[in-house]
Amino acid sequence: MNKVILAGRLTRDPEVRYTQSGKAVASFTLAVDRRFGRRNAEANGQPTADFIPIVVWERLAEVCGNNLIKGSQVLVEGRMQVRSYDAQDGSKRYVTEVVANEVEFMGSRPQREGGAPMPQGGYQQSAAPQQQAPQANNSFGPSIPDEEIPF
């Protein structure tokens, strides 16, 4: 069990890259507000949010690339992952990321600077992982008619 659920806003547009074998990978950082501290914290010089790196793969990566921008408010579900790499000074460094398997749009849509709002309305462009997680709606849903339920 390694489960993470975060609600927050992108600090920048997502960056989409491709592996050598052609898999899409999107990455962005989520600003997740620490609830109660905000005002006092600002006064205290304390952090008011956690900035958490998110990684998304394959089709969902492309959907994020096409639909999210800096400021977009999202709900992310995934798992924590710790990668290590060797720094230039020879020491080992650790990076903690959340690998998302679900990204839901929430709330208000940010405008592109000087531009039109993002086309986030319809299901077609939804970042919800359609083929990646068909099981999310596999029962009593459209794919299994009532007559099929054996109890």
* Residue number, 37 or 59, with CB nearest to DNA: 37
Compute how many residues bind a second copy; rule: CB under 8 A.
Answer: 74
- Whether residue 34 contacts residue 41, with contact meaning beta carbons closer than 8 Å, is answered with yes
Please classify residue 104 by burial: count the beta carbons closer than 10 Å to its beta carbon, then call 0-12 exposed, 13-18 middle and 19+ buried: middle
Structure tokens at 46: 């304390």
Query: Which part of the chain contacts DNA (CB under 7 A), choosing from 44-52, 57-65, 119-127, 137-145?
Result: 44-52
The C-alpha torsion from 57 through 59 and 62 to 63, rounded to 10°, is: -110
Applying the rule CB under 7 A, the residues between 112 and 151 that interact with DNA are none
125 in contact with a second copy (CB under 8 A): no
Residue with tokens 């304390």: 46
Report the nearest approach of a second copy to the CB of residue 113 (Å).
Answer: 22
Torsion angles phi and psi, residue 137, rounded to 5: -130, 35
Applying the rule CB under 8 A, the residues between 47 and 66 that interact with a second copy are 47, 50-52, 55, 57-58
41 in contact with a second copy (CB under 8 A): yes
Report the nearest approach of DNA to the CB of residue 132 (Å).
Answer: 23
Alpha carbon distance 53, 151 (integer Å): 44
* Residue number, 22 or 90, with CB nearest to DNA: 90
The amino acid present at 13, given as its one-letter code, is D
The binding track of 102-121 with respect to a second copy, each residue x by CB under 8 A or -, is --x-xxx-------------
Instruction: Name the DSSP class of 148.
Output: G
Binding site for DNA (CB under 7 A): 8-11, 29, 31, 33, 48-49, 51, 70-71, 82, 84, 92, 94, 110
